[in-house]
Amino acid sequence: MRTPITTVALLFALGAGRLLAADPTAVSPGNVRFTKFADSSFDVYTGNPTQAQKDWMKAHYWRLVAYTPYFDSRLSWFPNAWFYKDLYALYVNQSLATQHPEWILKDTSGRNLYIPWGCSGGTCPQYAADIGNPSYRAFWIQEAGAALAKGYKGIWIDDVNMLISRVSNGSGQPVAPRDPRTGAQMTEADWRRYMAEFTEQIRAAFPGKELAHNALWFVGTSDPYVQRQMASADFFSLERGVNDSGIVGGTGTYGFETVLALADWMHQHGHAVFFQPSATTNQAREYGLAAYFLVNGGTDAIGNSPGGTPDDWWPGYDVSLGAASGARYKWNGVLRRDFAGGIVLVNEPGASQVTLQLGGSYIDTGGTTRTSLTLGAAQGAVLRRSTTTSAPPPTLLDVAPIR
């Protein structure tokens, strides 16, 4: 049953929620930094909230990803917001595309090209802008700077796509554009170079602001241009997180452990990741949350759409596990990480079902006390330690370190 926002907020304002809610400002691998997309469906909460409702949101959301100019006036009570901006979208129905046709990428026959999203009837809502054009880059940075001056913490930048296949014709079919600087068909290497240069320019323009890149994790981390793009972001935004149905087990291109390795790369270079699962069930939410805890360096973030609103808040996001005892490791066929206040376990996609003896008493996200549990493929568990259970040391036979 959904709890109305007025009731939830009132309970929090009276102190009932303070005993459970994780602190979204805390820097700890066992803490949840929940980040919510405040799109138009969220306007019901931000349109004209009471003080109690504002307090609830500030207590549960580390960041909101909002939209300017709508959210500008809300920064007075929620200043911890990023604003949304697409990296290379020129909107078909706006005058900017008409004013600057030279900014639109074209195929070798001179036809306009698009970002392959929402395409229908031979057209798409967003032209693909020329990310190598100095004038377009300057305009983008000027626009972003004007929005940041209103008080936003940073920018959530969409379509930081390091694959040239993210340019298409009006039917959404990939088409390599003509490179306006050479007159020849643009190469993958040049596309990546232009993308890296552009994101580095944005980084240099806003050194004190948080930049989150919604990028393609399966491109890998070995390409030098990809590394430059990643290094120019404070957060690598993992759309759909580990809940993406295309993720398989292992270390291949689309492997679960490849996702975690990307998070490791970001951490090693002083940056963070933002998990964005689209989980619709509590089981799927727990799987996404457990994966987040497997890698969380203390500054990572997680959000969930649908869900994560004051009316359908999942209590699992209130869990705080405290300090991590170390990194994740393989244990009895699953991935595990230990914390001062509990443990997390994840069984990868494609793995066999496994029943685990926990070696102690733990409380799951539903409040049930457990000494054992069964995990199927692509399932996880977030378990709080009971007050009578100490952390059992894993045996050498059970442990395989993650390298």
* Residue 86 token pair: 């697409």
361 touches 370 (CB < 8 A)? yes
d(CA 152, CA 68): 10
* Residue 386 token pair: 């009971």
Q: What ranges make up the beta strands (E) of 247-390? A: 272-276, 301-302, 329-331, 334-339, 342-347, 354-363, 369-375, 379-385
301 touches 62 (CB < 8 A)? yes
> How confident is the model over 45-56, as a mean pLDDT?
96
pLDDT-derived band at 307 (thresholds 50, 70, 90) equals confident
H-helix or E-strand spanning residue 239:
strand 235-239
User: In 10 A of CB 390, how many CB atoms?
Assistant: 9
Helix axes 224-231, 188-205, angle to 10 degrees: 20
d(CA 29, CA 165): 36
pLDDT in tens, 174-214: 999 999 999 999 999 999 999 999 999 999 999 999 999 99
**Structural domains of the chain sorted by starting position, each given as residue range(s) with its CATH number in brackets:** 5-322 (3.20.20.70)
Strands 301-302 vs 272-276: parallel, antiparallel or unpaired: parallel
d(CA 306, CA 324): 29
pLDDT in tens, 343-379: 999 999 999 999 999 999 999 999 999 999 999 999 9
Does 285 have pLDDT greater than 90? Answer: yes
Amino acid of residue 286: E
Query: What 8-state DSSP symbol labels residue 351?
Result: P
pLDDT above 90 as % of the chain: 87
pLDDT-derived band at 25 (thresholds 50, 70, 90) equals confident
Does 113 have pLDDT greater than 70? Answer: yes
Looking up tokens 């799987």, which residue turns up? Answer: 287
277-284: Cβ within 8 A, 24+ apart:
277/240, 277/241, 277/242, 277/243, 277/302, 277/303, 277/304, 278/240, 278/241, 278/243, 278/304, 278/305, 278/306, 279/243, 279/304, 279/307, 280/306, 280/307, 282/314, 282/316, 282/365, 282/366, 283/379, 284/243
Does 8 have pLDDT greater than 70? Answer: no
Cα of first residue to Cα of last residue in the chain, in angstroms, is 44
